[in-house]
Amino acid sequence: MQEYICVHCGANNPSVYKQFSDEIIKLTKCDNCNNLVGEYVETEYSIIIIDMLLLRKEALRHVLLIQI
């Protein structure tokens, strides 16, 4: 089973999202900090690149650690 890293606090989490049906997908919250585990999953690439250039830890963790 693959573990995912929270982009906010770096804690391990079992999933980034839960799929309830074909149309309903909900992002999961971190067990440690109660923020979304991978908030950049639904963000456009251009915004992620801008956040990386601004050296936001969350964007860097998303690109380096979460591979969806």
pLDDT tens-digit profile of 26-38? 999 999 999 998 8
C-alpha 23/C-alpha 56 separation (Å) is 31
Rounded to the nearest 5 degrees, what angle is found at the Cα of 11, between the Cα atoms of 9 and 13? 125
In contact, 32 and 9? CB cutoff 8 Å: yes
Write out pLDDT tens, residues 10-58. 888 888 889 999 899 999 999 999 999 888 888 899 999 999 999 998 8
Residue 67: band (very low, low, confident or very high) from pLDDT cuts 50, 70, 90: low
